[in-house]
């Protein structure tokens, strides 16, 4: 430990701390734009490019960027001298000189760190004038790039290259023309982008934002010829409350359902229900492939979860020779859409064309997934519109619906009844835990008494655990974050790691940390609290195994026969494309 003094307060901090971290431990928040640290040193952006976080260090001539300057014994720091404040303001004004002034109509308005700083520093006129760069806007199915607003903080670059290892966004050009872009400045849609949306999650300004579809939802709801139903993903209920002033880690499921009913949806359903259906198909595929494996077909395993569309796109781009590894089961979002349009609509006497299926997801890649051609029939998609948690919050605020003023209510039947296994899909390790609960009983024929597979839980980016299933030792791998996924898959490919089943989610923490969730600014503690919400819901569910969900049972009895039947294959399974 070393002794340092910050703004006159003496403290002791670990030896390798930065000034920024040391100040934070004293409750002194030094403003910054480019700094980012998601949980560990490997997940850090400390290029110190924005220079907003400068401070004065006694004995040094130049101001020091606090995010990248380590402390030393006896260091004396001032974070708020006139010189510091003047310097920060000047940096800000220079940034603003080359920044569009259309804040009122900006996608990040109200949530933009640059805007917050302009308010904090009382900017009332733009002192410097000069050239402003102009780029074309780049529209993809999930993400919109508006590079006129880029401030070259490079958070997205760190996220895309270092953390996710996708390599879609890099700094190109120099000086004034410098910008973050895909190779050859091509459109995102033509690049290796997976649409995980993590770049949007960390962009402090309006340079990267989601393709906003809230008004598509409003138009559908206003159309008297359409029946409009909505499904809500597991992770949404664990974070939506943050937008309405609830403490982080509050479950707002009941209030959210009431709000969706108030908006006028004709059915308010739960993706969790479809997650249970996914488990039926995935667990039977695991069982079938395990039998083949035990009969000597080494290639039948490992099986890989396939419900994260960013992960699917990543493996299609990066491991085209491994496309027989993922389960062919569609994601819960797409299973829900397929059942809603092919079974539920018929039962309700609604024509496919007159039914609009909306999904609320913590995710931006789900927008892209909904648009994949294989998930449509004669041009009519199974899921018509996918909006993010943030977009739902905006929509509710526009409609003057305050979550805090609402009573709780329940999802509509039958596509709203879920088990504890369905809800944990939204956190890392949850999909494979849910699958293991069901596969265990199917493989051993025994009742599983303790459904909590603690060994599969945790926050390690990549973890491997052994689960005893009868006489079998099932080796299970779990990765969250695409960089961790790549490492794990390389090991599987080279034979260094022998696994039977793998879960991969593209976002840190799984969907609770998705690119469409309320901004967490890199704070992993928020993601952990959301995880706890899902674990608590699971704990309190009466039924915690997907195959015991009554409506799941009846849908097989009445429509799909059994998991992996011909009918189930047609409706609930998919293909991957190199």
| Catalytic residue positions, numbered | 282, 285, 307, 327, 366, 369, 374, 511
Could you say which of 65, 197, 204, 234 contacts ligand HC0 (CB under 6 A)?
A: 234
Nearest to 385 by CA among 413, 411, 366: 366
CA distance 1 to 202: 31
Binding to ligand HC0 by residue 513, rule CB under 6 A?
no
3-state SS of 290-341 is HHHHHCCCHHHCCEECCCCHHHHHHHHHHCHHHCCCECCECCHHHHHHHHHH
Binding to ligand HC0 by residue 267, rule CB under 6 A?
no
The enclosing H or E element of 433 equals: helix 430-444
Chain residues in the site for ligand SF4 (CB under 6 A): 196, 308-311, 362-363, 365-366, 505-507, 510-511, 514
Nearest to 205 by CA among 103, 134, 137, 120: 103
Pick 47 or 434: Cβ nearer ligand HC0: 434
Binding to ligand HC0 by residue 39, rule CB under 6 A?
no
Binding to ligand HC0 by residue 385, rule CB under 6 A?
no
Pick 4 or 434: Cβ nearer ligand HC0: 434
Q: CA torsion sign, 310 to 311 to 312 to 314?
A: positive
Could you say which of 313, 366, 480, 500 contacts ligand HC0 (CB under 6 A)?
A: 366
Q: To the nearest whole angstrom, how small is the minimum distance from the Cβ of residue 471 to ligand SF4?
A: 34
Pick 37 or 164: Cβ nearer ligand SF4: 164
Residue 431 interaction partner, one of ligand SF4, ligand HC0, none, beta carbon < 5-8 Å per kind: ligand HC0
Residue 405: φ, ψ to 5°: -95, 5
Binding range to ligand HC0, per CB under 6 A, among 142-150, 233-241, 399-407, 477-485: 233-241
Do β-strands 64-65 and 54-57 pair in parallel, antiparallel, or remain unpaired? antiparallel
Q: To the nearest whole angstrom, how small is the minimum distance from the Cβ of residue 366 to ligand HC0?
A: 5
Binding to ligand HC0 by residue 415, rule CB under 6 A?
no
Residue 188: φ, ψ to 5°: -55, -40
Q: CA torsion sign, 229 to 235 to 237 to 241?
A: negative
CA distance 478 to 457: 9
Q: To the nearest whole angstrom, how small is the minimum distance from the Cβ of residue 163 to ligand SF4?
A: 13
Q: To the nearest whole angstrom, how small is the minimum distance from the Cβ of residue 459 to ligand SF4?
A: 14
Q: Which of residues 313-352 bind ligand HC0 (CB under 6 A)?
A: 331-333
Binding to ligand HC0 by residue 456, rule CB under 6 A?
no
Q: To the nearest whole angstrom, how small is the minimum distance from the Cβ of residue 166 to ligand SF4?
A: 11
Q: To the nearest whole angstrom, how small is the minimum distance from the Cβ of residue 426 to ligand HC0?
A: 4
CA distance 288 to 11: 60
Per rule CB under 6 A, count of chain residues that contact ligand HC0: 20
Do 435 and 469 contact (CB within 8 A), yes or no?
no
Residue 332 interaction partner, one of ligand SF4, ligand HC0, none, beta carbon < 5-8 Å per kind: ligand HC0
Binding range to ligand HC0, per CB under 6 A, among 76-84, 116-124, 256-264, 357-365: 357-365
Residue 19 interaction partner, one of ligand SF4, ligand HC0, none, beta carbon < 5-8 Å per kind: none
Measure Cα distances from 268 to 253, 257, 272, 402, 406 in Å: 12, 7, 12, 18, 16
Written as six digits, the tokens of 303 are 């099986």
Nearest to 227 by CA among 268, 278, 170: 268
Do 158 and 169 contact (CB within 8 A), yes or no?
no
Do 415 and 269 contact (CB within 8 A), yes or no?
yes
Residue 234 interaction partner, one of ligand SF4, ligand HC0, none, beta carbon < 5-8 Å per kind: ligand HC0
Binding residues (CB under 6 A) for ligand HC0: these are 233-235, 271, 275, 307-308, 331-333, 361-363, 366, 425-426, 431, 510-511, 514
């Amino acid at each position: 430990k070393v002794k340092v003094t910050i703004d006159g307060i003496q403290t002791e901090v670990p030896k390798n701390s930065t000034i920024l971290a040391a100040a934070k431990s004293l409750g002194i928040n030094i403003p910054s734009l480019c700094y980012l640290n998601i949980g560990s040193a490997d997940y850090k952006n400390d290029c110190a490019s924005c220079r907003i976080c400068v401070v004065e260090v006694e004995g040094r001539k130049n101001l020091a960027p606090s995010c990248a300057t380590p402390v030393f014994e006896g260091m004396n720091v001032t974070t708020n001298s006139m010189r510091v404040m003047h310097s920060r303001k000047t940096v800000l004004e220079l940034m603003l000189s080359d920044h569009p002034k259309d804040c009122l109509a900006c996608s990040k308005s109200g949530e933009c760190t640059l805007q917050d700083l302009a308010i904090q520093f009382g900017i009332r006129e733009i002192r410097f004038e000069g050239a402003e760069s102009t780029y074309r806007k780049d529209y993809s199915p999930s993400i919109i790039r508006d590079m006129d607003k880029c401030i070259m903080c490079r958070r997205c670059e760190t996220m895309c290259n270092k953390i996710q290892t996708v390599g879609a966004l890099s700094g190109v050009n120099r000086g004034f023309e410098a910008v973050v872009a895909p190779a050859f400045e091509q459109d995102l849609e033509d690049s290796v982008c997976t649409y995980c949306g993590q770049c949007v999650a960390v962009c402090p300004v309006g340079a990267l934002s989601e393709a906003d579809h809230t008004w598509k939802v409003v138009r559908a709801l206003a159309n008297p010829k359409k029946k409009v139903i909505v499904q809500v993903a597991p992770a949404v209920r664990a974070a939506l409350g943050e937008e309405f002033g609830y403490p982080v880690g509050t479950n707002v499921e009941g209030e959210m359902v009431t709000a969706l009913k108030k908006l006028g949806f004709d059915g308010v359903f739960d993706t969790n229900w479809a997650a249970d259906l996914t488990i039926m198909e995935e667990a039977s595929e695991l069982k079938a492939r395990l039998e083949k494996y035990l009969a000597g077909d080494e290639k039948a395993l490992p099986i890989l979860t396939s419900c994260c569309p960013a992960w699917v796109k990543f493996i299609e781009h990066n491991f085209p020779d491994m496309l027989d590894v993922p389960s062919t089961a569609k994601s819960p979002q797409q299973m829900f859409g397929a059942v809603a349009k092919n079974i539920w609509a018929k039962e309700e006497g609604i024509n496919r064309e007159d039914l609009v299926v909306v999904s609320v997801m913590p995710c931006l890649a789900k927008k892209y997934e909904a648009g994949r051609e294989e998930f449509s029939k004669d041009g009519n998609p199974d899921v018509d519109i996918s909006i993010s948690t943030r977009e739902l919050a905006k929509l509710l605020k526009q409609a003057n619906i305050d979550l805090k003023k609402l009573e709780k209510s329940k999802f509509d039947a039958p596509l709203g009844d879920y088990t504890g296994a369905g809800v944990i899909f939204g956190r890392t390790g949850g999909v494979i835990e849910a699958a293991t609960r069901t596969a265990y009983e199917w493989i051993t024929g025994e009742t599983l008494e303790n459904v909590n597979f603690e060994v599969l839980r945790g926050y390690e980016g990549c973890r491997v655990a052994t689960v005893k299933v009868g006489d079998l030792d099932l080796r299970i791998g779990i990765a969250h974050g695409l960089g961790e996924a790549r490492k794990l898959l390389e090991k599987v490919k080279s034979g260094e790691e022998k696994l039977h089943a793998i879960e991969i989610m593209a976002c840190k923490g799984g969907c609770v940390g998705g690119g469409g969730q309320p901004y967490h600014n890199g704070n992993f503690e928020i993601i952990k609290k959301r995880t706890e919400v899902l674990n608590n819901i699971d704990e309190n569910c009466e039924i915690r195994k997907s195959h015991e969900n009554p409506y799941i049972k009846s849908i097989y009895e009445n429509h799909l026969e059994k998991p992996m039947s011909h009918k189930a294959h047609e409706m609930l399974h998919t293909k991957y494309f190199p």
